[in-house]
Chain A
C-alpha cells in the first residue's frame, strides 16, 4: 500500500519547466490565432469580442465546453469534495446534466431573435423587447458584476497550480501573493492581445491536454490507491469523523436528511444561472445556426461525465493521504488536486497536468472577461456614456474593461475566503440568476411588465446579497462564507440564489398585475413572433454579425 506522502512545498523543477513550455506553446498559438478565419481586424468589437461569429457545431462545442471545464471543475469541485463531501461538491454533476434540457428549451429562441435584430447580449434583447434602457442597464450591470467572482475562481485555480509547482513563497506579501499576481498578468496580457479567437483556437489544445490528463488520472489513480471500494471507504470515514472547528461531522458522504434540498437547489440554481452569464450567451450566439445549440445540448453531457470523475478525484486524494499545504504552511484544500498529481505522477507528467489545469482556467477566464467587457461597452458605455462611439473606440473600451473586470476579480480573491473557491461561482450565480425572469420569460411572453421585472430583479439582488453576506465561515469568521441558507416556508437549507429567484418572480408577478391593472405603459416591442423561430437559412436573418452570410453554414468549421 502507498504510504502517506509528505507535502512537498519546494520547487518542482521538471514539472515547472514542462508547465512553462506548454504554456509558451499555447501563448504562441494564441497570438497566431488572431489570424484564424479572420474577418476585418481586431480593432472592431465584433472581431475582437465575438470572433466574427462564424463558429460551427464543433467549435461551438469546444467553446461551450470551455465554460464548464474550468478551474471550477479541476480545482474547486474536487477541493469541495475533499473538504466537506458530496453536498458541497457533487451537486455539480446534476447541475451539468439538467443544464442541457434547460438551455435546449430557450436558447434556440434567443439565437433566432438575436440574429434577426443583431443582439449580442441579453441586455440588447431586453432593450429591444421592452424599449427599456433601465431594465437593459440592470441586466448589463448584473452580468458584469456576476462575472467577477467567476473569474476570481479561475485565478485561484491558476494560483493553486503555481503554488504547488513552487512559484512564490517567502515572508513578504509580494512573494506570498506572487502566484496569484503571475496568474493575473498572464491572463490580462493574453486576453488583451488576442480577443475571442485565441480562446476558441486554444480550446482544442486545452481539451486535448485535459482529456489526456483525465484519462490517465481516472484509470491510473484509483488503481494505485486501492480501487474505488477502498477510496469510497476512506471518504466515508473522513466525512463521518468529527470536525475540530465545528464539532459536527466533517461532511456528507451521501446527502442525508435535511440536505436533499441543498443538493437539489445547488444543482438547479447553478443550471438555471449558467447560461445567463455574458460569456455563455456570447458562446451560444456565436454558433452558426439555431439548431447548432440543440445539437450541442445532446452532445455536451460528455463533459458532465468527466466532471463527475474529476469530482471523485477529491476522494481519491483522501485515500491517497494527500496533504494540501500552501506555501504559507497552512492547509489549503484548493491545492488538493495539483498536490495529488505531484505526489502520484512522475515530475514531467505532473507538469503536463499542471499545464492542463492552468490553461483550463486561463481560457474560460479570457472568454468571461471578454464577454463581460462586451456587455459593458454595448449596454453601458454606448447606451449611457458615448452613444456616438466609433468602432475603434468601442473595441478600446472593451479591451480596457476586460482588464478592469479582472482587476475586480483580483479584489474578490483578496477579500473572500480562498479556501472555499467553489463559493465564488455560487456567489456569481446568486446575482446572475436574478436576470433570468427578464431574459427568459420575455422570450415567450410580454405579459410581464418591464417595471415589475426591474423591481423583482432589484429585490432578488438585495435579498441574495444580504443573505450571502450573513453566511459566516465558522473557521475563518469571514462573511460570504457559503451560499446555503434556511429557505423560508420549507425550513431546510437551500441555495440562496434559488430562494432569491422565487422571491424575484413573486414580486414580478404581483407588480405586473398591479401595473397592468393601472394600464401603465409597457414600452414598445421591436420583435415579432416570427423572429423567435428564424433560422440561419432564412434571408431575413440579420447578416450584420458577419459580413458574408455563406460562412454561417454549420458544416464549414
Chain B
C-alpha cells in the first residue's frame, strides 16, 4: 500500500499488514484462475444427481467464491485494524 504525504496537515495512509493483504489477494485470485481454467472442468463425468460435472462444479464455485471473498473482506479489515488505525 502506498503511504501518503508526511506533511502534517495532509492525512496519511496508515500502513497495513502486507502479509494479510497479500493473503486476501490470493483468496480473491483463486476463483478467477479456477474458473478461467476451463479445461480443468469441461467434462461430463462424474455426474451428480444426473447433472454433468461441468455444471455442478461451477455451482459449487458460487459458494467457494463467496466464502473466499468474505474471508478476504475480514482479512483486509484486520490488516488495517492491526496497523493501529482507531476503529470508530
**Chain A residues close to B by CB (< 8 Å):** 86, 90, 93-94, 97-98, 100-102, 104-105, 227-230, 232, 253-256, 259-261, 263-264, 267-268, 291, 294-295, 297-299, 301-302, 304-305, 308, 312, 528-530, 532-533, 537, 540
| Given known contacts A93-B58, A301-B66, A528-B4, A255 and B11 CB-to-CB distance under 8 angstroms | no
- B54 engages A530 (CB within 8 Å): no
Contact B73 A528 (CB under 8 A): no
Alpha-carbon gap, A302 to B73, bound state (A): 17
The answer to whether A94 and B69 have CB atoms under 8 Å apart is no
B40 to chain A, nearest CB (A): 10
Contact (A254, B43) CB under 8 Å given A98-B31, A267-B36, A268-B36: yes
Q: Select from chain B the residue with minimum beta-carbon distance to A535.
A: B88
Q: Are A530 and B4 in contact (CB under 8 A)?
A: yes
Q: Do B65 and A100 have beta carbons less than 8 Å apart?
A: yes
B51 at the interface (CB under 8 A from A): yes
State in angstroms the CA–CA spacing of A115 and B4 once bound together: 18
Which residue of B is nearest A271, CB measured? Answer: B32
Q: How far is the CB of A71 from chain B (nearest CB, A)?
A: 22
Compute how far the CA of A97 lies from the CA of B41 in the bound complex, rounded to whole angstroms: 15
Please name the residue on chain A nearest to B58 by beta carbon.
A93
Q: Does B22 contact A (CB under 8 A)?
A: no
Q: Which of A100, A260, A263 has its CB near the most chain B CB atoms (within 10 A)?
A: A100
Q: Which residues of B approach A to under 8 Å, CB–CB? A: 2-5, 10-14, 25, 28-29, 31-32, 35-39, 42-44, 49-52, 54-55, 58-59, 61-63, 65-66, 68-70, 72-73, 76-77, 88
Contact A298 B50 (CB under 8 A): no
Contacts of A268 in B (CB 8 A): 32, 36
Q: Are B36 and A228 closer than 8 Å at their CB atoms?
A: no
21 A-B pairs with CB atoms under 8 Å apart are: A90-B58, A94-B35, A100-B65, A101-B32, A228-B49, A228-B50, A230-B50, A253-B52, A267-B35, A294-B76, A297-B73, A301-B63, A305-B63, A308-B55, A308-B62, A312-B55, A528-B5, A528-B10, A529-B5, A533-B14, A537-B88
Contact, CB under 8 Å: A254 / B52: yes
Chain B residues within 8 Å of A260, by CB? 38-39, 42
A261, A291, A298: which contacts B70 (Cβ < 8 A)? Answer: A298
Say yes or no: A94-B36 contact (C-beta < 8 A), given A100-B65, A254-B44, A291-B77. Answer: yes
CB of B5 to closest CB in A, whole Å = 7
Give complex CA distance A532, B36 in Å. 29
- The 8 A-B pairs with the shortest beta carbon distances in the complex, nearest first, are A229-B50, A298-B70, A101-B28, A94-B35, A260-B38, A301-B66, A529-B4, A530-B4
Q: Which residues of B contact A98 (CB under 8 A)?
A: 31-32, 35-36, 65
Q: Which of the residues B3, B44, B52, B77 comes within 8 Å of A529, measured between beta carbons?
A: B3
Nearest chain A CB to B76 CB, angstrom units? 7
Q: How far is the CA of A263 from the CA of B73 in the complex (A)?
A: 28
Prevailing SS type, chain B contact patch: helix
Of the listed residues B2, B44, B65, the one surrounded by the most CB atoms of chain A closer than 10 A to its CB is B65
Nearest-neighbor residue (CB-CB) of A315 within chain B: B55
Given contacts A530-B10, A533-B13, could you give 4 more A-B pairs where the C-beta distance is less than 8 Å?
A: A104-B28, A291-B73, A302-B62, A305-B63
User: Is A105 touching B28 in the complex (CB atoms < 8 A)?
Assistant: yes
Least CB distance from A64 to B in Å reads 14
Kindly state the separation between the CA atoms of A255 and B23 in the bound complex, as whole angstroms. 32
CB of A97 within 8 A of CB of B62, answer yes
Taking the closest CB of chain B, its distance from the CB of A111, in whole angstroms, is 14
Check B31–A232 contact: CB distance below 8 A.
no
A contact face: mostly helix, strand, loop, or mixed: helix
Closest to B65 in A: A97
Complex CA gap A105/B37 in Å reads: 21
Given contacts A232-B50, A260-B39, A264-B36, whether A100 and B59 have CB atoms under 8 Å apart is no
Contacts of A532 in B (CB 8 A): 2, 13
CA of A229 to CA of B77, assembled, Å: 45
Q: How far is the CB of B4 from the nearest CB of chain A, in Å?
A: 4
Are the C-beta atoms of A255 and B38 separated by less than 8 Å? yes
Cα of A298 to Cα of B73 in the assembled complex, Å? 8
**A94-B36, A98-B31 known; A104-B69 Cβ under 8 A:** yes
Residues in A with CB closer than 8 Å to B12 are 530
Docked CA distance A230–B36 (Å) = 29
> A101-B29, A102-B32, A104-B73 known; A263 and B68 CB under 8 Å?
no
Report the nearest B residue to A255, measured CB to CB. Answer: B42
- Inter-chain CA distance A51–B76, complex, in Å, is 30
CA distance A202 to B38 in the complex (A): 37
**Are A90 and B62 in contact, CB atoms less than 8 angstroms apart?**
no
Contacts of B32 in A (CB 8 A): 98, 101-102, 268
Name the A residues within 8 Å of B29 (CB-CB).
101
CB nearest neighbor in A for B14: A533
B58 interface neighbour in A94, A261, A299, Cβ under 8 Å = A94
Which residue from chain A places its CB closest to the CB of B25 in the assembled complex? A105
Q: Are A86 and B68 in contact (CB under 8 A)?
A: no
Q: Nearest-CB distance from B1 to chain A (Å)? A: 8
Closest chain A CB from B62 CB (angstroms): 5
Indicate the member of A98, A260, A291, A305 with the most B CB atoms within 10 Å.
A98
Q: How far is the CA of A100 from the CA of B29 in the complex (A)?
A: 11
Contact of B65 among A101, A229, A261 (CB under 8 A): A101
| Residue numbers in B under 8 Å from A297 (CB-CB) | 69, 73
CA–CA, A430 and B54, complex, Å: 27
CA distance A531 to B21 in the complex (A): 19
User: Would you give the shortest CB distance from A289 to chain B, in whole angstroms?
Assistant: 11
Bound-state CA distance A183–B53 (Å) is 39
Q: Which residue of B lies closest to A229 (CB)?
A: B50
- Nearest-neighbour CB distance to chain B for A370, whole angstroms, equals 28
B4 — which chain A residues lie within 8 A by C-beta?
Answer: 528-530
- Nearest CB of A to B26, in Å: 11
Q: Which residues of A contact B39 (CB under 8 A)?
A: 260
A residues less than 8 Å from B38 (CB atoms): 255, 260-261, 263-264
